[in-house]
Every structure is written in structure tokens, then in C-alpha cells.
Amino acid sequence: MFKNFIKQNKLAFLMLAALFLVDRFSKFFILKLVEQDGKLDLYLNTNLNLYLIWNKGIAFGLLSFNESTIYNIITALILVIIFIILIMIIKSKGLTKYSLVAVLAGALGNVFDRIYYSAVPDFIDFHIKEFHWFIFNIADIFITMGVFCLIYVELFINKEIKENEKNY
């Protein structure tokens, strides 16, 4: 039974490991740049800079608090959500499974930072003229892409499946 479980989820867990490692490498690289220069403020092009901030909140710096009790509660809540996503991955298939894997990889990358650094290093500063989006990291990209794919599955793929079931 366990062997069958591993076989059925092998690709998902390989993807999870690969995405987690991409996130870890990106943050390691950025932190090494900061270590060498003392700061990070790199202009890449007219719409993209690398600028390091330490995020103690949740997605895109929302709910940032200095209060350690609230920070720990948020971290515990994220760990519970990670466990729920893991169960959902095991029970799902197809694009839903891999979308959840992307969300989980990003969540694991950020929760690792919350535990190890007590904050998440965000460093991608996307902007159009004077409008700056929240500064984010690679893990946030994985989470966002996973959520968009889940929305796509729900709006288009599951809707089509339900319509086909009605016709039979």
C-alpha cells in the first residue's frame, strides 16, 4: 500500500522538492549578495528591481506585526494550512494536484524562512512607473501561480466535467 502511494505521488513530490530548492537557492543567492554589499538595491530594468526587505507578515507583507505571540500564531496557522494542503495533494489528481504542489512548495519555502530567520526575505520589486506592487519572492510566485491554476481548474475544467456528466 505504501509502495503504491509513493508510486502514485512520486512526480508530485519531485516537483515539490524542485520548487522548494529553487526558492531556497534564490533566497540564498540574494542573502549572499547582501552579505557582500551590506544591502541589496539592484536596478534590473525599468520595471524590475531587486530590493531586500524582511517580511514578518503573511502574503505580500500583510498583517506584519512586531508582537511575537501574534507572529507565532500566524506561523502555527500556516503550518496547519500546509498539513491540509498536503492531504489535498494526496487526494487530488491532474492539474489540481500539481497546482496544490506549487502552493505547498511556496508555503514551505516561506514557513522555513519564518522559522529559521523569524521573517521572510522578499526581494522582487515589480513596478510600472511610480506604482510599485508589494515586494515578493520566488515562493510567492509559486503560491500565486498555483492559486491561479486552481481557479482555472474550478472555472473551466471542473465546469466542463460537470456539464459532460449532465449530458450522460
Residue 20 has pLDDT above 90, yes or no: yes
pLDDT at 161: 64
- Cα-based distances in Å from 29 to 11, 13, 121, 145, 150: 27, 24, 11, 22, 30
The share of the chain scoring above pLDDT 90, in percent, equals 65
Strands of 16-117 (E only): list them: 41-45, 48-55
pLDDT at 2: 63
Q: Where are the domains of the chain?
A: 2-167
Region 24-44 average pLDDT: 91
Of 23, 113, 125, 140, the active-site residue reads: 140
pLDDT at 4: 75
Residue 160 has pLDDT above 70, yes or no: no
80-138 pLDDT, tens digit each: 999 999 999 999 999 999 999 999 999 999 999 999 999 999 999 999 988 888 899 99
pLDDT at 8: 81
pLDDT at 112: 97
Of 23, 113, 122, 125, the active-site residue reads: 122
How many angstroms separate the first and last alpha carbons of the chain?
34
Residue 162 has pLDDT above 70, yes or no: no
pLDDT at 164: 63
56-76 pLDDT, tens digit each: 876 545 555 556 778 888 889
Region 149-167 average pLDDT: 78
Amino acid occupying residue 18: A
Give me the chain's average pLDDT, please. Answer: 88
pLDDT at 70: 80
Which SS3 state, helix, strand or coil, does residue 50 take?
strand
Is 140 known to be catalytic?
yes
